[in-house]
Amino acid sequence: QVTFENLDRAMFKAFESHLVRGEKGMLNVTAAKQISTLKTLINYARKDYKILVNPDYQDYTVSRGDSGFEVITLTKDELDVLYTLDLTNNPRLDRVRDVFVFSCATGLRYSDVKQLRREHLRGDVIKLTIAKTGQAQEVPLNEYSAAILEKYKGAKKVLPIGSNQPLNRYLKELGQLAGIDTPIEIVRFKGVERVISTHPKFELISMHTGRKTFTTLSLEMGMAAHEGMAI
């Protein structure tokens, strides 16, 4: 029987083994997420309900064997191809493209693009409170972001942004249409076994790619690192 008191290192090790075992077992990065979620639950029980727990859980970590993610960004050429792609006959992907390019041009997360309102637009800058951190932020507009805002200036919403999950799905469709298909090798671990797979880049694009693209291209174009970090 599993109890809070017997969740020691041996129990955690058995749980990890259960997660990664077998042909359909989880990769280390996924197992690590499950372990982290369990530790969060135990923390909650200990702190909020004063339940007696085994202290061993705090030191237990899963060896991922990798970073758990790849930094997927668009090159300047890929961004320009996407930006100039003729989507006249596909208004759905046209809207998705505009939202994504706006993220690439501003570094804003999905949650901040989603919360954007007219009052946040102050001339050639965006001023808003970041949803994730609660910090006041000022983001300069550039030719991409300013043009996209101008395109929707008469619309009810600042940008035509939908739910995150369908948006990420449509982005892959958009990337394929734009020919963003450079092969990307992904290396993961299942226990000590290396699991290697190769994917065209469009399969790996998500809204968070916009933020990473902003950072990468800003540095390539000469922006000081501390300025990029501030944005």
- Going by the DSSP 8-state scheme, the letter that residue 91 receives in this structure is H
Residues 6+ apart with CB under 8 A from 227: 218
Cα dihedral 42, 43, 48, 52 in deg (nearest 10): 60
Along the 231 residues of the chain, how does pLDDT read in single tens digits? 889 999 999 999 999 999 998 888 998 888 999 999 999 999 999 999 999 999 988 888 877 666 555 789 999 999 999 999 999 999 999 999 999 999 999 999 999 999 999 999 999 999 999 998 999 999 999 999 999 999 999 899 999 999 999 999 999 999 999 999 999 999 888 888 888 899 999 999 999 999 999 999 999 999 998 888 888
Name which of 228, 225, 176, 229 is nearest 205 in CA terms. Answer: 176
pLDDT of res. 66: 61
pLDDT of res. 67: 55
> Which residue carries 């997660």 as its tokens?
19
* Largest CA-CA distance found in the chain, in angstroms, rounded: 63
pLDDT of res. 116: 96
Q: Angle CA(146)–CA(148)–CA(150) in degrees, nearest 5?
A: 70
- In the beta sheet, which residues pair with residue 220? none
* Residue 35 CB neighbours (<10 A): 18
